[in-house]
A and B are shown apart, each in its own frame.
Chain A
Amino acid sequence: MNYMGEHDIWIQSGRFAVALAFAAALIASITYLMSWMRKDGAALRRAGRAAFMLHAAGVIGTVVILFVAILNHWYELDYVWRHSSNDLPLEYIASCFWEGQEGSFLLWMFWQSVIGLVLIKVAGQWEAGVVGVLSIVQVFLTSMILGVYLGDLHIGSSPFILIRELPENLGLPWTDMVDYLMRVPGFSDGQGLNPLLQNYWMVIHPPTLFLGFALITVPFSYAMAALLNRDYSAWVNDAMPWVFAGVGILGTGVLMGGAWAYEALSFGGFWAWDPVENASLVPWLTLVALGHLMIIERVKRKATTSTLMMAMLTFFLVLYSTFLTRSGILGDSSVHAFVDLGLNGQLLVFLGFFSVLPLGLFLMRWKDMPKSPSEDAFSSREFWMFIGSLTLLLSAAQITFSTSIPVINKLVGPDGMIALLSTELAPPVEPFAHYHSLQIPFAILITTLMAIGPYLRWKSTPWSLFKRITLSGVISLLIASLVVWGLALYTFSYALLIFTSLFAVISNATYWLKYLKDQWTVGAMTISHLGFALILIGAVISNAKKEPISTNSTFIHQDFPSNENLLMPFGDTLSMYPYWVVWTGEHQDGHNRVFDVDFYLEDDSTHRSGTRLKLNKAFTLHPFVQINETMGNVREPSTKHYWDRDIYTYVSYADLRPASVKNAEWAEPMTAIVAKGESILLFNQYLLNCDSIAIDLASFDQFTGDLANLSMRMILRVQDSLGVDHPLDVTYQVEGSSALPGEQVLEDMGLKIRFDGVSDTAGQFKITAWERNPKQDPFILMQAFVFPYINVLWLGCLLLLIGSVLSVAKRIKKLKG
Chain B
Amino acid sequence: MKRSSIILLLVIALLIGVLVSTIQDASTYASFDMAQKQAPETVTVVAQLDLDSPITFDPQTSMLTFTAIDKDGQSSTVLYNQPKPQDFERSEEITIKGRAGDGQFVAIEILMKCPSKYTEEGGVMADDEASIYTENS
Contact of A633 with B by CB under 8 A: yes
Determine the chain A residues whose CB is within 8 A of the CB of B97 once the complex forms: 426, 429
| Interchain CA distance A601-B108 in the complex, whole Å | 33
Contact between A428 and B26, CB atoms less than 8 A apart: yes
Q: How large is the interface on A (under 10, 10 to 19, 20 to 34, 35 or more residues)?
A: 35 or more
| Interchain CA distance A339-B115 in the complex, whole Å | 10
Within B44-102, the residues touching A (CB, 8 Å) are 44, 46, 57, 59-63, 79, 81-84, 86-87, 90, 95, 97, 101
Contact between B26 and A563, CB atoms less than 8 A apart: no
Contact between B87 and A633, CB atoms less than 8 A apart: yes
Q: How large is the interface on B (under 10, 10 to 19, 20 to 34, 35 or more residues)?
A: 35 or more
Determine the chain A residues whose CB is within 8 A of the CB of B57 once the complex forms: 653
Contact of A223 with B by CB under 8 A: no
| Interchain CA distance A375-B8 in the complex, whole Å | 14
Tell me which of B43, B79, B87, B116 contacts A426 (CB under 8 A): B43
Contact between B116 and A631, CB atoms less than 8 A apart: yes
Within A526-565, the residues touching B (CB, 8 Å) are 552, 554, 556, 559-560, 563, 565
Q: A163-B124, A423-B28 are in contact. Are A653 and B90 (CB under 8 A)?
A: no
Say what secondary structure dominates the interface of chain A.
mixed
Contact between B133 and A82, CB atoms less than 8 A apart: no
Contact between A428 and B25, CB atoms less than 8 A apart: yes
CB closest chain-B residue, reference A422: B28
Contact of B19 with A by CB under 8 A: yes
> Closest CB-CB distance, A372 to chain B, in whole Å?
8
Contact of A168 with B by CB under 8 A: yes
| Interchain CA distance A663-B6 in the complex, whole Å | 74
Determine the chain A residues whose CB is within 8 A of the CB of B81 once the complex forms: 556, 560, 563
**C-beta contact mask, B18-35 vs A, less than 8 Å → 1, else 0?**
110111011111100010
Contact of B42 with A by CB under 8 A: yes
> Closest CB-CB distance, A414 to chain B, in whole Å?
9
Contact between B29 and A565, CB atoms less than 8 A apart: no
CB closest chain-B residue, reference A372: B4
**C-beta contact mask, A419-453 vs B, less than 8 Å → 1, else 0?**
00001111111000110011000000000000000
| Interchain CA distance A632-B106 in the complex, whole Å | 26
> Closest CB-CB distance, B58 to chain A, in whole Å?
9
| Interchain CA distance A333-B2 in the complex, whole Å | 43
Tell me which of A82, A184, A402, A653 contacts B128 (CB under 8 A): A184
CB closest chain-A residue, reference B17: A438
CB closest chain-A residue, reference B109: A429
| Interchain CA distance A429-B29 in the complex, whole Å | 11
CB closest chain-B residue, reference A559: B106
| Interchain CA distance A173-B130 in the complex, whole Å | 11
Tell me which of B3, B22, B44, B129 contacts A375 (CB under 8 A): B3
21 residue pairs of the A-B complex, CB under 8 angstroms, read A172-B125, A173-B133, A174-B125, A183-B132, A186-B126, A333-B95, A394-B15, A398-B18, A398-B22, A405-B22, A405-B26, A429-B27, A437-B25, A552-B62, A560-B63, A560-B79, A565-B62, A567-B60, A632-B117, A653-B57, A781-B62
Please name 4 further chain A to chain B contacts, defined as beta carbons within 8 Å, in addition to the given A82-B120, A631-B117, sorted by A numbering.
A185-B128, A390-B11, A560-B81, A635-B86
Interface residues of A (CB under 8 A from B): 81-82, 163, 166, 168-169, 172-174, 183-187, 191, 194, 331-333, 335, 338-339, 375, 387, 390, 393-394, 397-398, 401-402, 405, 423-429, 433-434, 437-438, 552, 554, 556, 559-560, 563, 565, 567, 625, 630-635, 652-653, 779, 781
